[in-house]
Chain A
Amino acid sequence: MPIDFFGLIFLGLGPGIAFFIVVIARKSFLVLLSLFSAFLWLIVLLFTSAIFRGFLPVAEQTGSYAGVLAASVVIQECVRYGVWRAHRKTVETLETMARASGHRFTLLDRLYMALAWGYGHGATHCVFFFLSLLPLTASKGTYYIDACPQMSIFMVAALYSLAFGTILACLMVIAFDGYMSRSPALVLGVAAVHMGASMLTLLNFQANGCIAAMPALLGLGLLLVAYTVGLCWRKGGR
């Protein structure tokens, strides 16, 4: 029903859009960087799906899906490192050019840029895994699977979008911080959390598993937000 459609948009994408308007849209450079990031991660996801097209149909079992997810996360973590390398190179080049006129990037700027990269990452996941389903809710029906009679698949997708939007945005900031301070713990931690969160979604296969999985993911998102805010609070002043 149309009310379904608007409800889910507000739930899944509303907070993300509100955050974008309030935080990222203040600096046009960040907007451009977010868009570029989103585009890049879209290519990565399409690339991953192109690989797995050869394995279709994937058996609807936890094991098979775990394999697909694991491969996807590994690919994304590798690309994350590549993004960091390219980003650092670009920033160094820009800084060299800017030093001539006496400007340089502050740590806050770097954190903002990391946030933009992360926001693009999260936004692409929202579009890829949630927005693509949304037009179906504009007409009369909905769909529930047997394993999760508590919420429709569209609701699960909206909660996923909300959770992973926050998780991925925060993870990118933490990862960049890890790369910048050369902390392997942080970098590996980021990869582990990404893998863990993805595997957590497999809980949806279990009967009534969605009641545990989705709040857990939302909780994880909140935890990461707290950690990231703390991180920026401490380091932003320098």
Chain B
Amino acid sequence: MITAPLVHLDDMPRVPGGPRVVVAPAADADAFLTAFLSSAQLRQDVVGVLVDPTTGQPTHQSAAAPFPDAEFAPYSAPSYIWNPGGTNFNRQNFGIPIYLLTAALANETSWRAAYNAKHKLKGGRHVARMQLPMQAQGNSSRCITEDACLPVGGYGVWTALPAIPDIYYAANGSARPITLLLAQVDSASLFHDLTRAASTSLSGLISAMVALSLLVRANATATYERQLAFAALPGEAFGYMGSKRLLYEMALNSTFVRGLSLDLIDQVLEVGQVGGAWNTAVNQSNFYLHTQPPGGRFGDAAKLLSAAQSAATTESATVNAEPASPTNPGIPPSSLMNFLRVKPSVAGMVLTDFDTAFKTPYFQSEYDEGFNVTVLALADAALLLARTLHSLAAGPATPALELNRTAARFLVADLVVCLILDEPGMRCPTAAALMSPDIEIFYDGTSSAAVQGYPGIIRWVDYDPRASRMSYGVRNNVWRWRTDDTAAGWERAYSWPTDPMWTESNWPSLTPTLVVFQQESDATALATLLVGVLFTAFTGFISWVGVKAFEKHLKSQ
């Protein structure tokens, strides 16, 4: 339990030193936290930070590094900045509680901090009491063993278009080469539960899903020469969990990836951040195609590039696709990096809205709510993808692709309503027709079916994801997989960077809490006690002396 006086960030120089809880406006929070990490004085004085989001949103905020997960890249350029404004908070140990305030608490703390500054912490000062005892101790290995934490993770989904006819498809000789489409589904941020993933991953996911829907509606998939497959990958913000697991499952030839064999995959197309492609000034969506430079040890992506560029030309004047700048060190941070690590001969391409650096100011942030994502950009990305995939997979008998722009926009709008908007979130008609949503109920009774950007934790694991949720075999299963020699061998074979184990601690119920109130200073309380005891003793003594003197006085009369 930590209690300390509230001090507003702007009042810091004016208030006497000592432990304090800093109330920082959201727009200045990143700068302050960065200063905190590097200043010994701040580390000593500041025992907690309360971030106030009601005073305004920062113009850019990203908890990822300037080059997120640089060690996974197929090239070495660790100082290249893909994510300007990246603070790398996701990988820092702050050691103090950091809260994001609700509107009511933001109101309370601001006037209390102002009072403290006015009276310079003398007398009754307003304090914040923070109670957040985590059950996990030490590192992830220890807390998993002690059942005090649960691993971060989620479930990915893959599908094939057209459906794979036969589970032994990959084994018998008639298998077609596979073009794999990838999209990420989630993100990370400093405040995990508040993570939004609109531009970071949902933009790509929606474009991919709409592209596939358009291809299904065009009804030409039966004539394709190549097999199309799509994988939606979770946990990519946490050391590329999803793609790494998919590759491992394919190496194991497990039941979950029957039909999707790495031997057959020779083209991988990833759709990354595409939400910001629409340029209102020129009425055009600008897309960039990232590939590893030709002539290296990786597969030649020329076919993918030409397919995409001709698709853009065919599509309309509003869709523009060009290869990314050759001054880039290579492909941007993406799941494709992992495919190239395991099978360098794959021809890979990443479709994005940015060229040399991320366009979105909120990569891996709780502010990534989609203000810079437009339906036009996503629709154009979907059309571009559909046409590209169609041209890559087309056989001699395949008819030309007819795409309806309006239909694409409607499909995109449908999914945006479900996946990006807070309301109705997953209670939207499209989702409601397929599933019942996870509803989150907040402390004040309101509920939300909005999609969370954070992958969340895995409470139960089993080899069969359809197994009953009642078997809480997390600890045993995690250890089984960690000590699995096959996995270790596979990791070594492809020199994967060290695999961290991401976990979330368990918490006692009703924690963490934050209470703000006015507290008497210790000095005053102690002084009151001393003076009180003194007065009491003095009164008793004087009264006794007085009574004795009075009696003597009476006797003498």
Contacts and interface: CB of A to CB of B under 8 A. Distances in A.
Decide if A and B are genuine partners.
yes
A19 interface: yes
A8 B550 contact: no
Contacts of A17: 536
Interface in B512-557: 517-520, 522, 524-533, 535-540, 543-544, 546-547, 550, 553-554, 557
Contacts of B123: 144, 149-152
Interface in B93-139: 119, 122-124, 129
Interface in B398-453: none
A22 B537 CA distance: 11
A23 interface: yes
B165 to A, nearest CB: 69
A11 interface: yes
Interface of B: 119, 122-124, 129, 517-520, 522, 524-533, 535-540, 543-544, 546-547, 550, 553-554, 557
Contacts of A162: 535
A141 B553 contact: no
Nearest to B543: A22
Contacts, number: 103
Closest 3 CB pairs of A and B: A10-B532, A14-B536, A7-B528
* Contact residues of B: prevailing secondary structure: helix
A85 to B, nearest CB: 28
Contacts of A150: 123
A1 interface: yes
Interface string A194-238: 000000000000000000000000000000000001001100110
A108 B555 CA distance: 12
Contacts of A6: 529, 532
Contact of B540 (A3, A21, A141, A142): A21
Nearest to B539: A15
A223 B354 CA distance: 84
- The bracket for how many chain A residues form the interface is 35 or more
A11 B535 contact: yes
Interface of A: 1, 3-4, 6-12, 14-19, 21-23, 26, 108, 140-144, 149-152, 155, 158, 162, 229, 232-233, 236-237
A14 B129 contact: no
Nearest to A18: B540
B547 A22 contact: yes
A101 to B, nearest CB: 23
B532 A155 contact: no
Contacts of B537: 18
Tell me which of A140, A150, A229 has the highest count of chain B C-beta atoms within 10 A of its own C-beta: A140
Nearest to A155: B528
Contact of B525 (A3, A16, A22, A23): A3
B124 A8 contact: no
B525 A232 contact: no
Given A3-B526, A6-B529, A22-B543, A142 B535 contact: no
A4 B520 contact: yes
Given A22-B547, A141-B517, A236-B554, 7 more contacts: A3-B526, A14-B536, A19-B539, A143-B124, A144-B124, A232-B550, A236-B550
Tell me which of B529, B547, B554 has the highest count of chain A C-beta atoms within 10 A of its own C-beta: B529
Contacts of A233: 550, 553
B529 A142 contact: no
